[in-house]
C-alpha cells in the first residue's frame, strides 16, 4: 500500500510491554523467574526494553503482567529499602546504578495492568486500552532484544511521525527457509527504511511467502487498534492475535514495515539468548577477553 496523503499523526506517548506470557520455551528457567527478567549477563531483558522506550521519549509505560509475575513490578520500580541497605554498606555506586535503571514515577507515568489468563498477544495489548494516552501506541516485546547504536523504537517513531501509515511494524530480512517461523510482510514499495505493505501473512510456506521481511517485536499502532482488538476473534492457537487485528485494519489505516538498524535476538529461545549474551559480552573489553581466552583454549585443545 503506497503512503496515503494524511496529516502527520499524533505523537506516540504510550508504550505497552506485554509481559504476561508463560515463557514455555525457556522452562524450567521460567518456572519461578519471569522470562522478561532473564538476564543478558547482568542486565534483565526488561531493562533493555525500558531503556529503549525511555530513549524514545515515551511518557507512559504500561506493563501488562500476570499476578504470578510480581517480580517484574519489584524489578521495575525503585526499591528504597535496598537502596538504603546498599548505601549503608558503602556500595553507593551500585545503588546509583539501580536508581538510574528504575522507573522514577516523577519522570515517567508507570502502570501495571493484569492479564489474568495468557489469551494471546492481542488480548494482552487490549488489556492496556483503558490506560493508554490518546493517539498511537508503541508495543515492545522485551524478549525480542534489539541491540544497536540507535534504539529501535526511537528510529521507528521518527519514521512513523513522518506519516503515511497508521500501523507500523518492525521488520528484518530473513533467509527463505526461515519465513515459516514469522509473520511476513506483503511489500508493495519502499522509501529508504520504510516498506509500504498491503498486508501480512502469518508463517507462510517459503514458496508462498510474499517477501522475506519478517515482523519482529516492535510495533507503533494507530489508537483504533483497541477497537479492532475488542472485535477480534481468536486465531491461531485459540489466541487473540495482534497480527490478525493489524491485518484486518490495513485497508483502513495503512501498514508499513520499518527496517531497523540494530541486530535482533530472539531471547525467548535458548539459541537467541546465547547469541545475545555472546554479542553483548563481545561489545565490552572485560568480557571480550573472556570469550577470546575461551576460544584460544578450545583451539589449543584441538
Ligand atoms: P511469546 O509468545 O514469545 O511469549 O510472546 P510466551 O508465550 O510467554 O513464550 P513461549 O512461546 O511460551 O515460550 C511475546 C511477548 O508477549 C507476552 C509475553 O510475555 C512476551 O513478552 N504475552 C504473550 C503476553 O503478555 N500475553 C500473552 O497472552 C501472550
Write the residue with the smallest CA distance to atom 9 of ligand 1: 23
126 CB within 6 A, ligand 1:
no
20 CB within 6 A, ligand 1:
yes
Helical segments of the chain, H only: 45-55, 70-76, 80-88, 92-101, 121-126, 152-160, 225-230, 242-253, 270-282, 285-301
Q: How far apart are CA 127 and CA 219, in angstroms?
A: 16
What's residue 2's pLDDT? 56
> Where are the domains positioned within the chain?
14-268, 269-302
In a 3-state reduction of DSSP, which class is residue 185?
strand
Beta bridge partners of 169: 219, 257
Write the residue with the smallest CA distance to atom 18 of ligand 1: 21
CATH architecture group of domain 14-268: Alpha-Beta Complex (3.90)
Pairing verdict, β 60-65 and 14-18 = parallel
Helix axes 45-55 and 152-160, enclosed angle (nearest 10) = 40
Q: Residue 66 CA: which ligand 1 atom is closest?
A: 25
- Ligand 1 centre and the CA of 23: distance in Å? 6
Q: Which residue has the cell 507515568?
A: 109
Establish whether the linkage from the previous residue to 200 is cis, with ω within 30° of 0: no
| Positions of the chain with pLDDT under 70 | 1-7
Q: How far apart are CA 289 and CA 164, in angstroms?
A: 46
Write the residue with the smallest CA distance to atom 5 of ligand 1: 21
Furthest C-alpha separation in the chain: 64
Residue whose C-alpha is closest to residue 129's, from 113, 110, 140? 113
In a 3-state reduction of DSSP, which class is residue 92?
helix
268 CB within 6 A, ligand 1:
yes
Average pLDDT, the chain: 94
Amino acid at each position: 500500500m503506497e503512503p496515503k496523503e494524511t496529516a502527520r499523526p499524533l505523537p506516540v506517548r504510550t508504550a505497552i510491554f506485554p509481559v504476561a506470557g508463560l515463557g514455555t520455551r525457556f522452562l524450567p528457567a521460567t518456572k519461578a523467574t519471569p522470562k522478561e527478567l532473564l538476564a543478558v549477563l547482568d542486565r534483565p531483558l526488561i531493562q533493555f526494553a525500558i531503556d529503549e522506550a525511555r530513549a524514545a521519549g515515551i511518557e507512559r509505560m504500561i506493563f501488562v503482567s500476570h499476578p504470578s509475575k510480581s517480580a517484574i513490578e519489584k524489578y521495575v520500580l525503585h526499591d528504597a529499602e535496598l537502596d538504603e541497605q546498599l548505601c549503608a554498606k558503602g556500595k553507593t555506586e551500585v545503588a546509583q546504578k539501580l536508581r538510574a535503571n528504575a522507573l522514577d514515577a516523577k519522570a515517567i507515568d508507570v502502570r501495571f495492568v493484569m492479564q489474568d489468563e495468557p489469551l494471546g498477544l492481542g488480548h494482552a495489548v487490549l488489556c492496556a486500552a483503558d490506560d493508554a494516552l490518546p493517539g498511537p501506541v508503541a508495543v515492545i516485546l522485551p524478549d525480542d532484544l534489539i541491540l544497536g547504536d540507535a534504539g529501535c523504537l526511537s528510529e521507528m517513531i521518527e519514521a512513523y511521525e513522518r506519516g503515511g501509515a497508521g500501523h507500523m511494524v518492525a521488520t528484518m530480512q530473513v533467509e527463505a527457509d526461515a519465513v515459516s517461523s514469522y509473520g511476513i510482510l506483503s511489500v508493495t514499495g519502499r522509501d529508504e527504511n520504510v516498506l509500504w505493505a498491503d498486508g501480512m501473512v502469518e508463517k507462510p510456506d517459503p514458496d508462498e511467502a510474499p517477501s522475506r521481511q519478517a515482523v519482529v517485536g516492535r510495533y507503533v499502532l494507530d489508537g483504533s487498534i483497541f477497537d479492532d482488538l475488542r472485535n477480534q476473534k481468536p486465531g491461531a492457537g485459540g489466541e487473540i492475535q495482534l497480527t490478525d487485528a493489524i491485518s484486518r485494519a490495513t485497508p483502513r489505516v495503512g501498514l508499513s514495515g520499518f527496517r531497523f538498524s540494530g541486530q535482533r535476538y530472539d531471547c525467548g529461545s535458548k539459541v537467541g539468548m546465547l547469541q545475545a549474551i555472546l554479542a553483548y559480552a563481545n561489545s565490552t573489553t572485560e568480557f571480550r577477553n573472556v570469550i577470546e581466552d575461551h576460544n584460544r583454549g578450545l583451539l589449543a585443545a584441538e
